[in-house]
Structure 1
Amino acid sequence: MSSRYSEYLPERPMVGYGMNQPDPQWPNGAKIAISFVINWEEGGERNVLEGDDGSETFIIETLSQPSRIGERDEMVESQFEYGPRVGLPRLMRLFKRYNMTATMYTVAAALECAPHFGPELVKQGFEIACHGNRWINYMNVSPEEEEKHIHQAIDRLQKYTGDPSVPRGWMIGRRSNASQRLYCHAAKERGLEFLYSSDSYGDDLPYWLESPLASEGEPDEGMLIVPYSLDCNDVRFVVPGSGWSSGEDFYKHLVDTFDVLYEEGEAGQAKMMSIGLHNRCIGRPGRLAAVEKFMQYISSKEGVWVARRDEIARHWREQFPYCAERCQGRVIT
């Protein structure tokens, strides 16, 4: 097996920034960076119509619904249909109303199912990041097949947004151990500006890792990690035993998280706060109210930078360029 298809298993960066975390120097002296992420997966999920073995079971309202093997599940399918039909337009209107921006973790097959949103999202200022070609578990896909998926994802995202420079970042989640190496290869071969990966939950600040291509003899240009979050995430409404029973629960957790991080920023140790949203989940009206209340709350504070993840990545690259000797997920001195 060639190196591009081999596993990518970097050392675990357990040390981090320690007690001497860097001052992120967020723009205009902001005390906190807020990263809203909208996950667009609907249309890319498991479905026998796409040749899968059964129906999807993850992040759905029917919490204990087992997969229907070998047949369609119309109840689950219609939950996913709610995302592009109602949830996504509702979120777009909300962000426009508050003049805020977000990163769209876009499954390419989902965009292809509702392609009219592509230009609208770009026009409104959303970042189109790659969330995979389909929303499936790539641990069950051969590396050779996954590479085909990666190139197809790039083709779809560029075609339906009309932007040949996307994607600049990715978050696969259900990735294989070869995914990061394959994405680095694809970006390099196609001349894309690869700014960051968000396949980590390991920090409240971006950090550097060695490039997945360095072990193949390529120049080590580093791989910037812009971490994601599962605690400030609407999946906890629908994953069994995981959290939110009402919008108030979600809102309270968002505010508590913000307040702690904002206080750290006032003390000179600013952080970023990631908020994960899903069209079919937070797009329900009783839940969306919590996000709007949080937007109102942070709008009343000074020194809050609401930014796309590519903006955060560019800022970090400028302030803390990669240095193999001192930046590989270890303490920056």
Structure 2
Amino acid sequence: MTLDAPYLPARDFIGYGERPPAAEWPAGAKLALNIVVNYEEGAEYSIGEGDGVSEAILSDLAVSPAVPGLRNRNMESLYEYGSRVGVWRLISLFRDKGVIPTFYVVGRALELNPAAGKAIAALGSDIVCHGWRWIDYAPLSEEEERQHIAMTVDTVRKITGIDPLGWYTGRPSLNTRRLVAEHGGLLFDCDDYNDDLPYVVDVGGRRHLVVPHSFDNNDSRYSRGSGLETGSQFFEYVSDGVDWLLKEGQKTPRMMTVSLHCRLAARPGRMIGLERFLDKVTAHPDIWVCRRSDLARHWLSRFGG
């Protein structure tokens, strides 16, 4: 098959290969660990938002087929748990443990609950913009997606007072990375899952930083039938990941993302596992628990962008 146009974004199966660059994390850390909290509640697919269908994924609801034109009150209320209870429970735990996570914030969700944005800012978190809506951006026009990027950045600044430095759509289009780079002011995006270190790509002649996200060390496993059901199981899995990367980090320091959702990780039966994990990583001298923007700045200062 012959392609008439460049296959963009181009795929890269080689990356750093056998010789990844020396990250040289601060204080000689062997692992840079970033904890991400996704704040999406209210921005998901919803009849009330004019989408024509209700959300069907990423909740404790086992099976939820999207039925055109019909509200799914079970799904709606499961998402509401994240904004009514979950975000506050997580913020309280992080405050008590002295850990500052990164928040991936969806613009519309923030607009619907600005008090959460104020609390995120008070915690000292950085914010990665997570789209205007928690929807699939592939069907949207380029112009509509461009508008959504601008709306999200403006809303985050207005409500939280934070200048966001990163972007993560989660369900991006083929235009997303280029539009983020063109918007300006955003140092990096996270819309890839293909490495344990940041890397730089060329986007329209611009050098653009990618800080890969993780579906692996991710509490979405609670909703995917992956066999992770309890906080203890989640702790064991992400703890094993930390132990391996610390071992590997004696030669090649890496990064690790642990991703949480307010409606999933913050259930009472899962919080003790998260607390155990925070206790473990904050007590370890070879782990740099960092915000995502700090990790990105370190990488850019060391390798340029």
Could you say whether these structures have the same fold, taking a TM-score greater than 0.5 normalized by the shorter chain as the test?
yes
Distance 1:228 1:7 in 2: 26
Aligned to 1:147: 146
**Bigger relative contact order, structure 1 or 2 (CA pairs below 8 A, ≥6 apart):** 1
Aligned to 1:177: 174
Q: Quick check: 1:213 aligned with 2:204?
A: yes
In structure 2, stretches of 5+ residues that fail to align are none
Aligned to 2:164: 167
Aligned to 2:283: 300
Helix, strand or coil at the partner of 1:281: coil
Aligned to 1:196: 188
Shift of 1:228: 0.9
Q: Among residues 280, 283, 292, which one is paired with 2:263 in the alignment? A: 280
Aligned to 1:234: 219
Helix, strand or coil at the partner of 2:114: coil
Distance 2:107 2:39 in 1: 9
Structure 2 counterpart of 1:84, one-letter code = S
Q: Quick check: 1:259 aligned with 2:243?
A: yes
Question: Does the C-alpha gap of structure 1 residues 7 and 238 become closer, same or farther in structure 2, counting only changes over 3 Å?
Answer: farther
Aligned to 2:251: 268
Aligned to 1:326: none
Distance 2:135 2:8 in 1: 21
Distance 2:179 2:213 in 1: 21
Distance 1:57 1:10 in 2: 28
Helix, strand or coil at the partner of 1:205: coil
Distance 1:169 1:8 in 2: 25
Aligned to 1:247: 231
8 Å CA contact 1:7–1:177 kept in 2: the answer is no
Shift of 1:314: 0.2
8 Å CA contact 2:110–2:116 kept in 1: the answer is yes
Distance 2:246 2:46 in 1: 43
Give deviations 1:94-126, integer Å, cap 9, x for gaps.
111111111101000000111012222112111
Distance 2:19 2:8 in 1: 27
Helix, strand or coil at the partner of 2:260: strand
What TM-score, normalized by structure 2, do the two folds share?
0.95
Structure 1 stretches of at least 4 aligned residues deviating more than 4 Å after TM superposition: none
Shift of 1:141: 1.1
Give deviations 1:205-257, integer Å, cap 9, x for gaps.
111111x222xxxxx3x111111111110000012x32312222111111110
Structure 2 counterpart of 1:300, one-letter code = A
Shift of 1:7: 9.2
Helix, strand or coil at the partner of 1:58: coil
Structure 2 counterpart of 1:201, one-letter code = Y
8 Å CA contact 1:8–1:178 kept in 2: the answer is no
Shift of 1:40: 0.6
Shift of 1:8: 8.1
Helix, strand or coil at the partner of 1:109: helix
Aligned to 1:186: 183
Distance 1:167 1:9 in 2: 26
Shift of 1:61: 1.2
**RMSD value, Cα:** 1.5
Structure 2 counterpart of 1:197, one-letter code = D
Shift of 1:30: 0.7
Give deviations 1:16-54, integer Å, cap 9, x for gaps.
112211221000111111110111110100011111021
In structure 1, stretches of 5+ residues that fail to align are 1-5, 215-219, 323-333
Question: Residues 1-333 of structure 1 correspond to what in structure 2 (within 5 A)?
Answer: 9-163=8-162, 166-187=163-184, 192=185, 194-210=186-202, 212-214=203-205, 220=206, 222-239=207-224, 241-265=225-249, 267-322=250-305
Shift of 1:268: 2.4
Helix, strand or coil at the partner of 1:175: coil
Structure 1 counterpart of 2:63, one-letter code = S
How many residue pairs were aligned? 301
8 Å CA contact 2:36–2:259 kept in 1: the answer is yes
Shift of 1:299: 2.7
